Amino acid sequence: MITTPPRIVTSRVGLPDSFTLERYLATGGYEGLRKALSMSPADVAAEVNKASLLGRGGAGFPAGRKWSMLRKAATTYLVVNGDESEPATFKDHMLIESDPHQIIEGTAIAAYATGVEQAFIYCRGEFALGFERLQQACNEAYAYGALGADVLGSGYALDIVIHPGAGAYICGEETALLESLEGKRGFPRIKPPYFPAAVGLYGEPTVVNNVETVSSLPWIVMHGGDAFAALGEGSSTGTRLFALSGRVERPGWFEIEMSKTTFRDLIYDPSLGGGIAGGKQLRAFIPGGVSSPWFGPEQLDLALNQEAVGQAGSMLGSGSVVVMDSDTCVVRAAWRIARFFNRESCGQCTPCREGSGWIEKIMHRLENGLGREEDIALVLDACDNISPGLTWPPKQTTVCVFGPSIPPSIVSVVKMFPDELLVHVKEGGCPFPADAVRRG
C-alpha cells in the first residue's frame, strides 16, 4: 500500500535554492532547534525515544538508546556519519547536497540532547559539492546564531567542524570513521568495547549518528515523537529514504512510510520505480545494500519493515534496493560485488583480506568461462572461512562486519541460481551475450 506521509527529511528537496539559509528560514528552518533549546536536554531525548527512531545508517540501532548509553559518563563528542559509500546507496549524498542546514540543525539538536559542545560532520571526500554546501551552511549558521558561543541566545555553546574523508569505504564503519577523524588509516577498532559511547573519539564517550538520522530530528522535535511513531508499524516507525537503482524505469530515492509499502510497490508503482526497464521480467533484487542476501520475485510482497525483512532472511540495511532483470547475469553481478569487497577490505584481518581475493578470482573465472565444477564448492568454502556456517545473521571471524558482508551475494547466487553457475562452467562462458568477457 502506498501512503502519503509527511515529507520528514525531503520537504525542501527539489527547490532550486534548497541549500540556502534564506530558503531554510522561509520554510521553518531552525525552529526545531529553537524549540529544543526551550526544553531540557532529557526531554528532547525523551521525544526521540518516543519516536522509536531507528538509526538510518544500516545497522538500525535505536537512536534514543545510543544517546542514553552516554548519560552514565560525561559525553564529549558527537560525530555525524556522512561517509555514505555502500554500493547503490545515495540518500545521504542527496540530503547533504540538497538540505545541509537540516543536517546542521539536526546535529545541533542531537548535541544539545546529549550535552555535547563539540560536534563533527564527517563528509565523504568524493562529495566535493556536498562538502562545499555543508561548509557554507555551517558558516551561515554561525552568522545566524544557530551555532557558536551562545546558540540562539540560550547560553548553550556548540561548535561543528565539517570534516572531509578522502576515499575509503571502510570509514563508514563507525570505529574506522573515528580513527580516520583522528588522522589515521581507517582501520576498524577491535571490540569490545562495542560502542563509541564507551570509548570513542580520542578515547572519550562519543555518539555517532547517521546523516538521515539527524535530518529527522528537527521534524521530531517540532511535531513530537508520538507523531513520528504513529507512522509505520512495530519497531519500524516514521518514514525512511529508499534508494532504488539497477534495471528499473525510474531509479531514484523515495521517502516512504515504513512498514506500509512493499518491495512490489517500490519497484513497480508508477509513482515510485515504475516497473522493470523495457518491460522485462524481474529476476532478483538486493533488498538492503550489497551486504544483504538477495530476494527473488516471491519476496516482492514483503513490507519495508526491518523485522519482516530480517525474518525473511535478509535486511533493510542501508535502504538501497538494486533490481536485476531477465537480461542480468547474476554471476557477473555477484563477481562485481566480490570485487568491490576485495578492493575495499582494509586488510587488517586475514579471513577478509585473503578470502575476498579468493572469492573475487573464483567468481571472475567462472564468469569468464575458465571455471571448474568444483569451483562452486570452493567459493562456498572460502565464504565459510570468513563467516562459519554461512548463517543469517552471519557469524564473524573479523574485527568488523565488513568480512561477514562478503558471503551473502555469493551464497544467494548459489542458492537461487545453481544451474546458472553450472551453465557458465559447461558452456565455457557467460550465456548472456551482452556480458561477454570482462576485465578483472
Partner 1 sequence: MARLSPENRTRAEAIVACYPKRRSALIPLCHLAQAQDGFLTEEAMEDIAGLLGCTPAEVRGTASFYDMLHTEPVGRHVVAVCTNIACMLAGAYEVLDQAEASLGISVGQTTADGEFTLEEAECLAGCDHAPCVQVNSRFFGPVDPDGFDALAEDLRSGRLSETVPAHGTLSRVERSVGLPAREARSRGEAGRQPGPTEAPGTVAE
Site for partner 1 in 266-325 (CB under 8 A): 286, 290, 320, 322, 324
Q: How many residues does the chain have?
A: 440
Q: Between residue 64 and residue 83, which ones bind partner 1 under the rule CB under 8 A?
A: 69-70, 72-74, 76
Does residue 97 sit in helix, strand or coil? helix
Give me the least distance between CB of 303 and partner 1, in Å please. Answer: 23
Of positions 279, 298, 419, 439, contacts partner 1 by CB under 8 A: 439
**First-to-last CA distance in the chain?**
42
Q: Write the CA distances from 421 to 330, 339, 357, integer angstroms.
A: 9, 17, 19
**Residue 247 binds partner 1, judged by CB under 8 A:** yes
Contact 438, 369 (CB under 8 A): no
**Residue 93 binds partner 1, judged by CB under 8 A:** yes
> Of 16, 173, 9, 7, whose CA–CA distance to 85 is shortest?
173
Contact 321, 267 (CB under 8 A): yes
Distance CA 242, CA 372 (A): 39
Of positions 55, 205, 287, 404, contacts partner 1 by CB under 8 A: 205
Of positions 26, 28, 42, 184, contacts partner 1 by CB under 8 A: 184
Of positions 8, 197, 362, 413, contacts partner 1 by CB under 8 A: 197
Neighbouring C-beta atoms of residue 121, cutoff 10 Å: 26
Q: Which stretch binds partner 1 (CB under 8 A): 50-58, 160-168, 222-230, 396-404?
A: 160-168
Neighbouring C-beta atoms of residue 117, cutoff 10 Å: 16
Distance CA 146, CA 157 (A): 10
210: β partners: 81
Q: Which stretch binds partner 1 (CB under 8 A): 7-15, 19-27, 196-204, 257-265?
A: 196-204
Of positions 8, 51, 138, 382, contacts partner 1 by CB under 8 A: 138
Q: Which stretch binds partner 1 (CB under 8 A): 227-235, 292-300, 331-339, 420-428?
A: 331-339
Helix (H) or strand (E) holding 252: strand 252-257
**Residue 88 binds partner 1, judged by CB under 8 A:** yes
Of positions 18, 85, 236, 292, contacts partner 1 by CB under 8 A: 85
**Residue 186 binds partner 1, judged by CB under 8 A:** yes
**Residue 105 binds partner 1, judged by CB under 8 A:** no
Closer Cβ to partner 1, 426 or 438, answer by number: 438
Closer Cβ to partner 1, 115 or 224, answer by number: 115
Q: Between residue 115 and residue 134, which ones bind partner 1 under the rule CB under 8 A?
A: 118, 124-129, 131-133
> Of 423, 419, 389, 430, whose CA–CA distance to 407 is shortest?
389
